[in-house]
Structure 1
Amino acid sequence: MRTRKQKIILAVKIVAISFLAIIIALFVFRNEVLKQTIAKISFKMASEYNSTFTVKEASFVGLSGLSFSEIILVPKNADTLFNIHKMKTSVNLWRLLVGDIQLGTLEIENGYVQLVKNKKGRNFDAFLKKDKSSTSSNEKRDYAKVAYILISKVLNLVPTDMKVENLSFRLNDNGKKTTINFQKLRLVNKQLETSIKVETKAFTQRIRIEGFADPRNKKADIRFFNIDTGAIKVPYLDERFGLKSSFDSIRLNIQNIDKSGGELHVDGFASIANLMINHKKIANKDVVIKNAKFDFRFLLGSDFISIDSSSTVQFNKVKFHPYLAYETEEDTIYKLKVAIPKMKAQDFIVSLPDGLFTHFQGMEAEGNFEYNLDFMFNKNKTNTLVFDSKLNKENLKITKYGEANLNKLNGEFIYRAIINNVLQRPVLVGSGNPNYTPLDQISPYLQKCVLTSEDPSFFSHRGFINEAFKQSILKNIRTKKFSRGASTISMQLIKNVFLTREKTVSRKLEEILLVYILENNRIASKERMLEVYFNVIEWGPNVYGIGEAAQFYFQKSPIDLTLKECLFLTTIVPKPKKFMWQFDNEGNLKAFAQQQEKFLSNLMLRRGILTAEDTLGESIPLQLSGNAHSLLNIKVQDSVSVDSLAVEMPFEF
């Protein structure tokens, strides 16, 4: 009779023998199993993705190695998705037994992967279908868990030893073609080295990627260089989006990917040298950032994704700490915080990207400043939007101006509007111009109307109105486009006198900085700013300044304008060249235009800016008596009717 110890030993032997038998059976019949596996994959590709998957030859090499030739995937009625001539790989058998695929080695020789979009559609559409059996949309997604599983699976598919020769990735977007050919790729002993050829219709370039890569420990430190002279050009974006971009080198360092306490942490840094971007909506010239670095710490939890505030962004001499978060615990909330620690103003000025702040070139400043921005948007409670912008300065002073010399506002100068990059006729802003009108010679009604409509708190704010920014952001979010701005008169003045009307990021950023300098350094008084504003803004087609406008519309001096006329002039400020569309074919204001003026006058009455006596003449129809009248689409009366009427009327001599 066997003892308990002997029984245990016997059981272990049986298990070992059984396991060995399974291994031997798998080894003996493995090629048959491999064929069946390929057949299952082919069937699934055909039934679920309407695609043909074929492998010409497939066999085992050694215990865990696999060899394939002519691996092809072709969606029905579409271009081939991939075609690999030869591939060898090995897998980790122990990981495979628990259902996890982890590649050990990989060799690929000659092949391509291509994404094609044309009139027939896209050759990868079938593989973008959502899995109906996936998690219900009502069930909350655990971001940390999903991200960690995805990262782990992807990194497990990256072999520890890799050799690739002549593998191309092709993109054809309706004739916009880009080919990235890995002529050579080696990953040996965690050291990565590549030779890549990039081809587009516009250029051909050779790139090298090298460095350290350890997919099993989730670490990497790789660099991108240009083998040839010059910068590395970014393909496809130019043809597809009109965005030209290049850089000298990029470094990406992943120091840690770890999941603990229900949170996923991704730590590392990325840096780039001489980044150049060019797009008509960014600036009208190349924008260059010489050196930039991002020390990042990404955090993902069960109900949030964020960039931690310990992260640091640095470009040139400017350094700041960003905090970005997307939260879904109760409501969908977006958060943004930016903190620029105390720094020298001059360091900030010289660090501004070339091409983005052209009007600041040559500017010099003294003192220090620090800046903080706090933004929060709750998708389900839009009225709780937070927008708080604070700049604290210390002995801040502009000692020398660049291209935009703000001091010129205090003297006589020539103003020339720029419309569609074309300089308009010169307008003298000063007493030498007979149409120039000092502030005390402009109708108080017009001053009150324009201030009420454009900037009610002009005389009390410092260039910006936080509440206006909030409302602007809310409307832009709701409409999903930039449908509303938040311009004060100070911002409009800067835009007109020193900048252009181009709708670019560059122009808007310059406008914000110049307004801050103007308003917070007391360069010009509010009264002088308002006077210049009235004398430079466009009031109609080729009509600049209120002096010209009063004559053009009413053959009057600005001081003699009535409330009715001032209300009209105020309503056309946003679109002065289209003033004629406010009138019908009989020369009378249309109902919508009358309603606009009525709304503005009622608003001024409620605020106590106007009295009931001021509005006594509002019922009198508005009549244009100046040259503006000739631009109206007036219907000519029937001359026959007039003549016949004249015959019947008696004449007196």
Structure 2
Amino acid sequence: MKTRKQKILLIIKIAVAFIVIAVIGIFSFREKLLQQIIAKTATKMESDYNSHFVVKKASFEGLSGVHLADVVLVPKDADTLFKIQKIRTSVNIWRLLVGDVQLGTLEIKNGFVQLTKKGKVKNFDAFLKRNKSEENTSDKRDYAAFAYRIISKVLNLIPTDMDVENLKFKLDDNGKKATIDIKKLVLANKELETSINVKTNTFAQRWKIKGFADPRNKKADIRFFNIDTGAIKVPYFDERYNLISSFDSIRLNIENINKSGGELHIDGFTSIANLKINHAKIARKDVLIKNARFDYRLLLGSDFVSVDSSSTVQFNKVKFHPYLAYETEEDTIYKLKVNIPKMKAQDFITSLPDGLFTHFEGMEAEGTFDYNLNFEYNKNKPKDLIFDSNLKKENLKITKYGEANLNKLNGEFIYRAIINNVLQRPVLVGNSNVYYTPLDQISPYLKMCVLTTEDPSFFSHRGFINEAFKQSIVKNIKTKKFSRGASTISMQLIKNVFLTREKTLSRKLEEILLVYILENNRIVSKERMLEVYFNIIEWGPNIYGIGEASQFYFQKSPADLTFNECLFLARIIPSPKKFMYQFNDEGNLRASAEQQVSFLTNLMIKRGLLTIEDTIFKSQPTILTGPARSLLRIKVKDTTVVDSLKISDEFEF
């Protein structure tokens, strides 16, 4: 009777024999197996992606080496997706048996991969569709499963040892072209080194990528450099999106990629030096961020994609923790939370990107602050938008102003509007100007009307109206542009006196910060702000301030304006150069304008701003008696006497 030890030895011998037989069998039939895999791949490309896949020559070399020649993939009725003259690689035999390709070594010589779009035809369209096995009745994509599948397949195709020569990646988007020509790429002992030529329609450069890469353990730490002098320019985006960008160097680190409990976790960091961006919707000049780093933790689930709040963004001396999420469990929801821990105000000012906050250059401050932002937008319930912004300050004080010296609002200064990038005539804001009108010499009706139409809570808010801000965000998201503002009088004043009317990210950010400083540091009284506002805003063609406006429209001083006249002036503030369209060809207000008048007057009565004595205005028509009347298209005989010579003299600037 055999002992237990003898039985174990017998089992081992049988197992070894079986493995040997299996290896011999695989070795004997591997050529046939390789051809079957190529045929299976060609069939799949044909049926699933409507593409023609060809390998002109395929053979094994050694135990697990594979040599392929003239490998081509051509989508039907589209440009060749890739063509490679020579590929030598080793594959994991056991993974190959289950149809999973994992490369060990890779040698590529002379080939190209290209993405093209001609008209609306893309040669890669078929490869963007979903995997049928992941589709369900609700037609939702499992973000974690989808991302992990793509990442795993890509990493399996990255060998542990690689030698690439003359491999080009081409992009042609209806004539917008970019070519990344890999002259040499070597990955050996997990160390990566490359030599790359980049060429577009606008520039040519030589890049170098160097660092650590371990595709089997899903880790990497690589750096991008420019071999030549100067910064690395980002290709394609300049032509496609008019976004000119460059950087001195960039580093990408991947510490961990792991899927567990239905969630995919990706951890690491990326850093960039001297990032320069230029785009018309960002700023008028180059925006420069000298040093930036993002320590990220990305989380993906079946119905969400997010940047975890443990992530950290740092640029210069500013550090904050962002939380971004895109959720689709029930509704489509976008979330953003930002937390800036307590920091010195001066560190924040000096860390602001060059070119993005030009009016803050040279500003100095004392004290500290911390900041929290909570934003949530439900695409299916836009009215439920959440926007909470909270800044806590300690001994915060501006000790020196930059280009935007807010103190100048307290004294006499020259104002010059900028319209369509053209500097307008100078307007003196002060008593030396005969048209300048102190607040106490302006009709109370005008204050009432302008505050009603422009900013009802001006004397109580601190620069911003939260609800109006929310409505503005909703409208801008829906239209995907700056289609609506949430401007208070404070914001209009800052924009007019210190900034421009351009709709750029830079101008909006500067406006928000300057308004906050103005309203929360008691630099200028509300009364003085309103007085300056009345004396600088545009009220018609080349008409600035209420002194000029009251003469231009009614040949009166601001103190003598009636309610109807004040309401007219308040209503045209958004589009002062189109005032003439308020009137018909008889010189009377149109029905639509009368409806506006009725609505606003009823609103003011409801709010208790008008008394019974004020209702006499209802029987009075709004008639232009000043030079403005000549711009109306009046067909009937005009009996109003206007001394055109006198008008021309009065408004000759």
TM range (shorter): over 0.9
Amino acid at match of 1:538: E
| Residue 602 (structure 1) aligns with | 602
Cα 1:130–1:398 shift into 2, 3 Å: same
d(CA) in 2 for partners of 1:445, 1:470: 30
Secondary structure of the corresponding residue to residue 624 of structure 1: coil
Contact 1:223 1:249 in 2 (8 A): yes
| Residue 650 (structure 1) aligns with | none
Question: How big is the shift at 1:168?
Answer: 0.5
| Residue 647 (structure 2) aligns with | none
d(CA) in 1 for partners of 2:197, 2:568: 63
**Range moving further from structure 2, 211-220 or 91-100:** 91-100
| Residue 417 (structure 1) aligns with | 417
d(CA) in 1 for partners of 2:227, 2:19: 53
Deviation string 1:2-33 (CA, Å, 9 cap, x unpaired) is 99998998787667656544543432233233
Contact 1:491 1:515 in 2 (8 A): yes
**Range moving further from structure 2, 47-56 or 137-146:** 137-146
**Range moving further from structure 2, 629-638 or 151-160:** 629-638
Question: How big is the shift at 1:562?
Answer: 1.6
Identity %: 75
d(CA) in 2 for partners of 1:301, 1:52: 35
Question: How big is the shift at 1:494?
Answer: 0.3
Deviation string 1:361-383 (CA, Å, 9 cap, x unpaired) is 11111111111112223334434
Question: How big is the shift at 1:214?
Answer: 0.7
Cα 1:407–1:385 shift into 2, 3 Å: same
Amino acid at match of 1:485: G
Question: How big is the shift at 1:482?
Answer: 2.9
Question: How big is the shift at 1:476?
Answer: 2.5
1:113 aligns with 2:113: yes
| Residue 645 (structure 1) aligns with | none
d(CA) in 2 for partners of 1:145, 1:177: 33
Amino acid at match of 1:630: S
Contact 2:244 2:277 in 1 (8 A): yes
Aligned length: 638
Secondary structure of the corresponding residue to residue 216 of structure 2: coil
Deviation string 1:375-421 (CA, Å, 9 cap, x unpaired) is 22333443432211111111111111111111110111110001122
Matches within 5 A, 1:338-417: 338-417=338-417
Cα 1:306–1:138 shift into 2, 3 Å: same
Contact 2:134 2:141 in 1 (8 A): no
Question: How big is the shift at 1:441?
Answer: 1.4
Secondary structure of the corresponding residue to residue 170 of structure 1: strand
Contact 2:134 2:142 in 1 (8 A): no
Question: How big is the shift at 1:335?
Answer: 2.1
Cα 1:173–1:604 shift into 2, 3 Å: same
Cα 1:95–1:619 shift into 2, 3 Å: farther
Matches within 5 A, 1:6-405: 20-119=20-119, 121-131=121-131, 134-138=134-138, 141-405=141-405
Question: How big is the shift at 1:308?
Answer: 1.9
Question: How big is the shift at 1:52?
Answer: 2.6
**Range moving further from structure 2, 111-120 or 349-358:** 111-120
Contact 2:209 2:225 in 1 (8 A): yes
d(CA) in 2 for partners of 1:46, 1:158: 25
**Range moving further from structure 2, 324-333 or 9-18:** 9-18
d(CA) in 2 for partners of 1:125, 1:578: 49
d(CA) in 2 for partners of 1:201, 1:264: 39
Matches within 5 A, 1:506-585: 506-585=506-585
Matches within 5 A, 1:455-494: 455-494=455-494
d(CA) in 1 for partners of 2:477, 2:416: 35
**Range moving further from structure 2, 462-471 or 404-413:** 462-471
Q: Tell me the TM-score normalized by structure 1.
A: 0.92
Amino acid at match of 1:357: F
Cα 1:93–1:410 shift into 2, 3 Å: same
**Range moving further from structure 2, 559-568 or 283-292:** 559-568
Amino acid at match of 1:522: R
Secondary structure of the corresponding residue to residue 96 of structure 1: helix
**Range moving further from structure 2, 371-380 or 554-563:** 371-380
Amino acid at match of 1:75: P
Question: How big is the shift at 1:340?
Answer: 1.2
Secondary structure of the corresponding residue to residue 634 of structure 1: coil
d(CA) in 1 for partners of 2:537, 2:320: 38
Secondary structure of the corresponding residue to residue 503 of structure 2: coil
Secondary structure of the corresponding residue to residue 228 of structure 1: coil
Cα 1:19–1:534 shift into 2, 3 Å: same
Contact 1:449 1:566 in 2 (8 A): yes
Deviation string 1:468-502 (CA, Å, 9 cap, x unpaired) is 21222223334443322111100100000011111
d(CA) in 2 for partners of 1:291, 1:550: 53
d(CA) in 2 for partners of 1:345, 1:243: 31
**Range moving further from structure 2, 206-215 or 466-475:** 466-475
Amino acid at match of 1:604: M
Amino acid at match of 1:307: V
Question: How big is the shift at 1:72?
Answer: 1.5
d(CA) in 2 for partners of 1:16, 1:589: 101
Cα 1:420–1:319 shift into 2, 3 Å: same
d(CA) in 1 for partners of 2:344, 2:223: 32
Contact 2:225 2:249 in 1 (8 A): yes
Cα 1:210–1:237 shift into 2, 3 Å: same
d(CA) in 2 for partners of 1:171, 1:134: 30
Contact 2:445 2:566 in 1 (8 A): yes
d(CA) in 2 for partners of 1:327, 1:16: 52
Question: How big is the shift at 1:327?
Answer: 3.2
d(CA) in 2 for partners of 1:507, 1:52: 52
Question: How big is the shift at 1:511?
Answer: 0.7
Question: How big is the shift at 1:257?
Answer: 2.0
Question: How big is the shift at 1:99?
Answer: 4.0
Amino acid at match of 1:464: F
Q: Tell me the TM-score normalized by structure 2.
A: 0.92
Cα root mean square deviation, aligned: 2.4
Contact 1:449 1:570 in 2 (8 A): yes
d(CA) in 1 for partners of 2:401, 2:263: 50
**Range moving further from structure 2, 224-233 or 112-121:** 112-121
Amino acid at match of 2:122: R
Contact 1:111 1:167 in 2 (8 A): yes
Deviation string 1:76-135 (CA, Å, 9 cap, x unpaired) is 332221111111111112233344321111111011111112236222223334455641
Contact 1:563 1:615 in 2 (8 A): no
**Range moving further from structure 2, 21-30 or 398-407:** 21-30
Cα 1:514–1:312 shift into 2, 3 Å: same
| Residue 648 (structure 1) aligns with | none
Cα 1:96–1:132 shift into 2, 3 Å: closer
d(CA) in 2 for partners of 1:504, 1:260: 43
Contact 1:78 1:120 in 2 (8 A): no
| Residue 641 (structure 1) aligns with | none
Deviation string 1:226-271 (CA, Å, 9 cap, x unpaired) is 1111100111111111111000000111112223444332221111
| Residue 503 (structure 1) aligns with | 503
d(CA) in 2 for partners of 1:177, 1:150: 26
Cα 1:38–1:414 shift into 2, 3 Å: same
Amino acid at match of 2:95: R
Contact 1:582 1:589 in 2 (8 A): yes
**Range moving further from structure 2, 88-97 or 160-169:** 88-97
d(CA) in 2 for partners of 1:390, 1:126: 47
d(CA) in 2 for partners of 1:588, 1:64: 92
d(CA) in 1 for partners of 2:505, 2:446: 32
Unpaired segments ≥5 residues, structure 1: 639-653
